[in-house]
Structure 1
């Protein structure tokens, strides 16, 4: 399952957000059920980030979202949001040959 989350961060806090993400990235990647995690940054407007992650399924994602690790990260970055986060959970349905 693909999970894309759009985070709109105060541009003045963008460097701090990137630092926290860099510090926590390996922990999240090693969470059971997480297969991949990447952070994308918009050229414009400033402060818009997207996380792209691959999960074994909804149960794995839910376990992460209810973990103490997620709560710690979310508590640290939530005050920096300038818009409500948006999230999409997607399944790849591309036909294979």
Structure 2
């Protein structure tokens, strides 16, 4: 399992549209085969910056999602609201304390 972190920055007047759409599709993303966890964060100092944080079983699962109709539709809708290029990281979790 690995973690995918995506940083997205939005035009201020488009945040509500992004959030509305995210809430409509979040269960579909979370229930996509191989996805084990999904969270959305908003930066405390810059409310235009958001991060998605998700766990994937395998890199192939993430790639299947990225090639899916669901991702293509969500990303096409979301990217029109960006005010900066998104950034993404795939990382291995080394330590987790509860």
For the aligned pair, the TM-score class normalised by the smaller chain equals: over 0.9
RMSD: 1.5
Q: Which 4+ runs in 1 deviate beyond 4 A? A: none
Q: How does 1:9-48 map to 2 (within 5 A)?
A: 9-48=10-49
Distance 2:24 2:15 in 1: 14
TM-score by length of 2: 0.93
| In the alignment, structure 1 residue 87 sits paired with structure 2 residue 51 | no
SS of the residue 1:22 aligns to: helix
Q: Which runs of 5+ in 2 are unaligned?
A: none
Q: CA deviation at 1:94?
A: 2.8
Q: Count matched residues.
A: 96
Deviations 1:6-56 (CA, angstroms, capped at 9, x unpaired): 000111110111111110000001100000101001122121000000000
